[in-house]
């Protein structure tokens, strides 16, 4: 049976480290980190995520500002709002929750965020810095995965890392980060996607398998090498009448059968998910302390 990589516990540890740092800052009369989150429209999942981010800010002693805007806001008005926050000296970190309504260009809005405040690490400047292995805000999910690998002391050098999925938010940055000359990193990386031939065979050659495809229980035991480390980024609701909520959460990996083959695995829920908010808080602390852009 695999070691369970506990993202819930690790994220609580990180939050408590951040809270201690905030207490030190307060005691020395320094500036309290301040995160602004922009939420456009009424998307249920986005409301939940942003609510959790604001709550986590309170938990560690950060200041937070939630800017709620109507779904029919014009692109220009949203760009002005982003500029207003860019110019607000009290705000250290700024995130615009995605997805945005269809009439608004994600590229334009992302590019408008001041790189110094881009604690999501989504701007071209910060993605470029990440690719160059310069100091930057690594976006939440990739940073959370790196931190799990580090804190569970998983050897990565010389390993074959297979990434399933090429999204801008997870698969693509993960493939770059795992190949860089650093720890975690120094892997031989294969990035795979919907057009990949022989995906099962490639997955089976992975020492470290990172699955961010967005297909429920896509990875089965036959696709995993004995002793592999498996990181499951997927999260899906499936109906389950035995639960009070009427649903349960599953990942992109068929957990039970893969866990019996892997040497370490992240569960869903309680794996990568909780780490993302801890990562965002960490980046906001870096922003407040001017660690990336001195």
* Active site amino acids: 53, 97, 120
Applying CB under 6 A, the span of 74-82, 89-97, 154-162, 232-240 interacting with ligand GUN comes to 89-97
> In angstroms, what CA-CA distances link 80 with 37, 62, 86, 259?
15, 25, 10, 49
Q: Which is nearer to ligand GUN, 148 or 224 (CB)?
A: 148
Q: Which is nearer to ligand GUN, 168 or 243 (CB)?
A: 168
Site string for ligand GUN, 111-130 (x = CB under 6 A): ---------x----------
| DSSP conformation letters of 201-257 | HHHHT-SEEEE-S--TT-B-GGGS-TT-EEEE---EEEE-TTSTTSEEEE-SB-HHH
**Kind plus residue range of the DSSP H or E element containing 191:** strand 188-192
Give me the least distance between CB of 67 and ligand GUN, in Å please. Answer: 13
Q: What is the distance between the alpha carbons of residues 91 and 114, in angstroms, rounded to a whole number?
A: 11
The binder of ligand GUN chosen from 69, 79, 98, 131 (CB under 6 A): 98
The binder of ligand GUN chosen from 95, 163, 189, 253 (CB under 6 A): 95
Q: What is the distance between the alpha carbons of residues 49 and 18, in angstroms, rounded to a whole number?
A: 20
Q: Are 212 and 167 in contact (CB under 8 A)?
A: yes
Nearest position to ligand GUN, beta carbon:
98
The binder of ligand GUN chosen from 22, 96, 161, 292 (CB under 6 A): 96
Pair of tokens at residue 101: 């309504």
Applying CB under 6 A, the span of 67-75, 93-101, 158-166, 227-235 interacting with ligand GUN comes to 93-101
176 binds ligand GUN (CB under 6 A): no
Give me the least distance between CB of 83 and ligand GUN, in Å please. Answer: 17
Give me the least distance between CB of 251 and ligand GUN, in Å please. Answer: 16
Can you give the C-alpha Rg of the chain in angstroms? 19
The binder of ligand GUN chosen from 97, 123, 126, 136 (CB under 6 A): 97
CB atoms within 10 A of CB 143: 22
Eight-state DSSP code of residue 37: E
Give me the least distance between CB of 164 and ligand GUN, in Å please. Answer: 18
Give me the least distance between CB of 16 and ligand GUN, in Å please. Answer: 22
The helix/strand/coil state of 126 is: helix
Which residues ranging from 137 to 156 are in contact with ligand GUN (CB under 6 A)?
140
Give me the least distance between CB of 11 and ligand GUN, in Å please. Answer: 14
Size of the site for ligand GUN (CB under 6 A): 6
Q: What is the distance between the alpha carbons of residues 125 and 130, in angstroms, rounded to a whole number?
A: 9
Q: Tell me whether the omega of the peptide bond preceding residue 180 falls within 30 degrees of 0, making it cis.
A: no
Site string for ligand GUN, 16-55 (x = CB under 6 A): ----------------------------------------
> In angstroms, what CA-CA distances link 201 with 223, 247, 255?
7, 32, 19
Question: Which residues in this chain contact ligand GUN in the complex, by CB under 6 A?
Answer: 95-98, 120, 140
């Amino acid at each position: 049976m695999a070691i369970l990589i506990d993202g819930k516990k690790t994220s609580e540890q990180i939050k408590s480290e951040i809270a201690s740092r905030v207490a030190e800052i307060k005691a020395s009369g320094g500036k309290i980190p301040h995160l602004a989150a922009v939420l456009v429209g009424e998307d249920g999942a986005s409301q939940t995520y942003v609510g959790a981010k604001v709550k986590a800010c309170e938990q560690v002693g950060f200041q937070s500002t939630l800017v709620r805007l109507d779904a029919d806001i014009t692109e220009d008005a949203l760009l002005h709002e982003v500029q207003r926050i860019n110019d607000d000296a009290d705000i250290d970190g700024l995130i615009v929750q995605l997805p945005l309504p269809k009439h608004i260009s994600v590229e334009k809005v992302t590019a408008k965020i001041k790189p110094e405040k881009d604690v999501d690490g989504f701007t071209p400047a910060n993605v470029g810095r990440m690719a160059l292995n310069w100091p930057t805000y690594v976006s939440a999910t990739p940073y959370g995965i790196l931190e799990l690998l580090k804190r569970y002391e998983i050897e990565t050098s010389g390993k074959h890392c297979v990434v399933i999925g090429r999204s801008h938010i997870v698969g693509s940055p993960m493939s770059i980060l795992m190949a860089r000359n650093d720890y975690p990193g120094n892997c031989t990386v294969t990035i795979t996607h919907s057009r990949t031939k022989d995906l099962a065979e490639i997955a089976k050659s992975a020492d470290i398998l990172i699955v961010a495809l967005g297909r429920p229980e896509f990875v089965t035991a036959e696709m995993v090498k004995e002793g592999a480390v498996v990181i499951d980024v997927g999260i899906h609701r499936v109906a389950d009448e035995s639960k009070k909520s009427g649903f349960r959460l599953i990942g992109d990996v068929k957990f039970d059968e893969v866990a019996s083959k892997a040497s370490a695995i992240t569960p869903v829920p309680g794996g990568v998910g909780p780490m993302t908010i801890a990562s965002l808080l960490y980046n906001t602390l870096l922003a407040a302390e001017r660690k990336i852009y001195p």
